[in-house]
Amino acid sequence: MAFKLNVNGHSTSVDVPPDMPLLWVLRDVLNLKAAKFGCGIAQCGACTVHVAGQPVRSCSYPVSSVGTKAVTTLEGLSATGNHPLQQAWETVDVPQCGYCQAGQIMSAAALLAKTPKPTDKDIDTAMSGNLCRCGTYLRIREAIHKAADMGPNASAKTVQTASKE
């Protein structure tokens, strides 16, 4: 079945089964590899992307549900990799293996879009769907605070990227 998708500001067509999860459309059809497969059942968050600015677990989100809503992956979070979260992640040296981090950053970006100055509790609530097998949680908290301090418009930029045709 043909679907017209808006991914990272680009319009694109794919011919895939309607129940194919967005994750596999992104990874195997559109060759966008940032979103990762970790569990396939919405337990780990490694596959988190934004659909209409909302974080979704793309492994459990059928492509047929996307419609005209804008999809943003980590590749499209910022043009040059300098979103405040990306900068903060580098400064704080968050990753160990790095596998979960695309999902972590996308969940964090959605959090900052709604709550520009989150408390630890806000962070814990928003990020509890994202597992980190390596245990980088303390640095994730630190980096989100750092990104929040960097700019009140960090989140606004994200939304713009997400909705740009």
Partner 1 sequence: MKRTETKNVMDRRSFFKISAVAGGGVMFTLPFAEELLAQGRGGAAPPPPNPNNFIKVALDGTVTIVAKNPETGQGVRNMLPMMIADELDVDWKNVKLDQADFDDSKYTAQSSGGSTATPNAWTPMRQAGAAGRAMFVTAAAQKWGVPETELTTGSGKVNHASSKRSVGYGELAAAVAKLPAPDMSRVKLKDASEYKIIGKKHSAYDISKIVTGAPIFGVDVTLPGMLHACFEKCGVFGGKVVSANLDEIKKLPGVKHAFVVERPIVTDAVIPGEPGLENGIAIVAETWWHAQSARQKLKVQWDEGIHASESSVGYQAKAEAMGKAAPQRTLRADGDADGALKSAAKVVEASYSYPFIAHAPLEPQNCTAMFKDGKLEMWGNSQQPGRGRKLVSDTVGVAESDISLHMVRAGGGFGRRLTNDYMVEAAWIAKQIPGVPVKLIWSREDDMRHDYYRPGGWQNLKAGIDASGKIVGWKNHFLSYGDGETFASSSAMGPTEFPQRFVPNYTLQSSVQRLGIRTGALRAPSSNAFAFVIQSFIDELAHAAGKDPAQYRLDLLASGAPVPAPAAPPAGGGRGGFAPPGMNAERMIGAMKLAMEKSEWGKKKYPAGTAQGIAFHFSHMGYFAEVAEVTVVGTKVKLNKVWVAGDIGSQIINPSGAENLVHGGVIDGMSELMMQEITVDKGRVVQGNFNTHGMVRINQAPPVIEVHFVKSTASPTGLGEPSLPPILPAIANAIFTASGKRLRQLPLSKAGMSWA
Which residues here bind ligand FES, judged by CB under 6 A? Answer: 37-40, 42-47, 57, 59, 95-101, 132-134, 136
Contact 47, 23 (CB under 8 A): yes
Q: Is 7 in the site for partner 1 (CB under 8 A)?
A: no
**Could you say which of 97, 114, 153, 156 contacts partner 1 (CB under 8 A)?**
97
The two structure tokens encoding residue 146: 């750092």
The two structure tokens encoding residue 155: 């989140």
Report what 57 binds from partner 1, ligand FES, none; CB cut-off 5-8 Å by kind: ligand FES
Site residue total, partner 1 (CB under 8 A): 61
Nearest residue by C-beta to ligand FES? Answer: 59
Question: Cβ closer to partner 1: 27 or 157?
Answer: 27
Main-chain phi, psi angles of 89, to 5 degrees:
-60, -40
Count of beta carbons in the 10 Å neighbourhood of residue 137: 17
Residues 49-68, interacting with partner 1 (CB under 8 A): none
Contact 7, 42 (CB under 8 A): no
Report what 139 binds from partner 1, ligand FES, none; CB cut-off 5-8 Å by kind: partner 1
Three-state SS at 46: coil
Report what 17 binds from ligand FES, partner 1, none; CB cut-off 5-8 Å by kind: partner 1
Contacts of residue 44, Cβ cutoff 8 Å, sequence gap at least 6: 38, 100, 103, 130, 131
Start-to-end CA span in the chain (Å): 23
- Determine the Cα–Cα distance for residues 141 and 127; give it in Å rounded to an integer: 9
Report what 20 binds from partner 1, ligand FES, none; CB cut-off 5-8 Å by kind: partner 1
Residues forming the site for partner 1 (CB under 8 A): 16-17, 19-21, 24, 27-29, 31-41, 43-44, 46, 73-75, 81, 85-86, 89-91, 93, 95-102, 105, 120, 123-125, 127-141
